[in-house]
Amino acid sequence: MSVILNICGARPNFMKIAPLMRAYHEHPTIRPLLIHTGQHYDTNMSTLFFDQLGIPKPDLNLEVGSASHAVQTAQIMERFEPIVKEHKPDWVVVVGDVNSTVACGLVAVKLGVRLAHVEAGLRSFDRAMPEEINRVVTDSISDLLFVSEPSGLENLKHEGVPDERVHFVGNVMIDTLRANRDKAEQSRVLDELKLAKGQYNVVTLHRPSNVDDPVMLGRIADVFDEIRKDLPIVFPMHPRTLANLGRLGVAERFQSMDGLRIVEPMGYLDFLKLMANAAVVLTDSGGIQEETTILGVSCLTMRENTERPVTITQGTNTLVGTDGAKIVSEYRRCRQSPPTTAQVPEKWDGRAAERIAAILADAS
Ligand code: UD1
């Protein structure tokens, strides 16, 4: 019997861990345990995802909550260490690039436990992004690296990671999207918000580089002010963005803009339905670049770089940075020529988690 501790902590982790927990069922030699660090804790940021995606109740919740990066990372490490000592797992599996990923990875390897990283090898080459540090550190200490797109293979090769540790398995986030598409179709979110298919845009923004600076937020408001003249914008707002609008004194500008609807963060199924039927999605998220690629919906990524280049070379994603004029002109281009066919990146076929579980079962 091989004991695997699986870590999730923040919203984008939940759709990655869900298919893995399911895939372990095919392997009776694996005993999976699920640990929630509590990095995200609100109903909208956490509980809803467990309910909708059928993720088993976590075996343990470390309940760390929000804090500075150092404090949050340190608290996760402190609370995870005794759990590793108690359960003596064969593997610790971490997903994505959040603080919970790197914190639990460090604890595992320092106790001599093998570490597997799901979504390894992605690089934005921007060390000002907290997630980039988390990715580089986690990959450098992992024994098994599960890669979602070809750029990941190249990056890990350049960094000298031995080939035998690296497996190109596909994208677990897309496993979840494929498994839930039909269910999401049943969502009433468009009716509730009185939106018609293809007649609205969706925005999500939460990265420090966009929402921690009042000048940047002012520029973003100018962009929305242009775009809303074409189609209304729905903006399910991340709690850190909401807090910043108030703190930086720009809430009024966003809240009083006609055609801009700020709503609470949504559950997975409602948001999937909202994205799938949008005209254009504007975002700084990582996962949304991938999801829109599979949905065949135009995505404008309001960042200077992406760690997921396959969404540009094969998908529907365009990097637009933060230059207002460029964002608006790219928006107009998307409206004039929406994507007709979306290419599916290699192995984004809904079976990534099955591949990972099989490799872990063999390696145990
Ligand atoms: C984290 C991840 C980021 C990911 C994002 C998705 C890191 C470094 N960042 O950023 O990669 O894209 O999650 O959401 O791990 N808050 C709540 N309720 C919650 C959670 C957070 O109100 O359930 C608020 C708190 O005010 C908190 C702030 O959001 O201070 C930020 O949360 P935190 O987990 O520190 O980082 P995120 O910005 O969510």
CA 43 to ligand 1 centroid distance, Å:
13
Residue in 98, 210, 284, 290 to alter for ligand 1 test, most ligand atoms within 8 A of Cβ: 98
Residue 342's pLDDT band, with cuts at 50, 70 and 90, is: confident
Tell me, yes or no, if 158 is annotated catalytic. Answer: no
Return the ligand 1 atom nearest residue 100 CA. 15
Q: Quote the percentage of the chain above a pLDDT of 70.
A: 100
Question: Which string of DSSP letters, residue by residue, matches 174-237?
Answer: HHHHHHHHHHHHT--HHHHTT--TTS-EEEE---HHHHS-HHHHHHHHHHHHHHTTTS-EEEE-
Query: What's the length of the chain?
Result: 364
Stretch 86-104: mean pLDDT = 98
- Whole-number pLDDT of residue 227: 98
Stretch 210-235: mean pLDDT = 96
- Whole-number pLDDT of residue 340: 83
Residue 364's pLDDT band, with cuts at 50, 70 and 90, is: confident
For residue 111, the surrounding DSSP H or E stretch is none
Of 287, 278, 96, 281, give the one whose Cα is nearest residue 177.
287
- Whole-number pLDDT of residue 352: 98
Residue 341's pLDDT band, with cuts at 50, 70 and 90, is: confident
Stretch 329-344: mean pLDDT = 92
Whether 125 has a pLDDT exceeding 90, the answer reads yes
Of 92, 11, 89, 99, give the one whose Cα is nearest residue 55.
11
First to last CA, the chain: 8
Relative to beta strand 233-236, strand 2-8 is unpaired
Find the angle CA(311)-CA(6)-CA(347) to the nearest 5 degrees.
Answer: 30
- Whole-number pLDDT of residue 278: 98
Stretch 193-215: mean pLDDT = 96
Which domains are delineated in the chain?
A: 2-171+348-363 (3.40.50.2000), 181-336 (3.40.50.2000)
Stretch 274-285: mean pLDDT = 98
Name the strands in the sheet holding 260-263, side by side, starting at the edge strand that comes first in the sequence: 260-263, 233-236, 201-204, 280-283, 298-301, 317-319
Residue in 13, 64, 206, 242 to alter for ligand 1 test, most ligand atoms within 8 A of Cβ: 206
Whether 167 has a pLDDT exceeding 80, the answer reads yes
CA 170 to ligand 1 centroid distance, Å:
26
Average pLDDT of the chain to the nearest whole number: 97
CA 335 to ligand 1 centroid distance, Å:
32
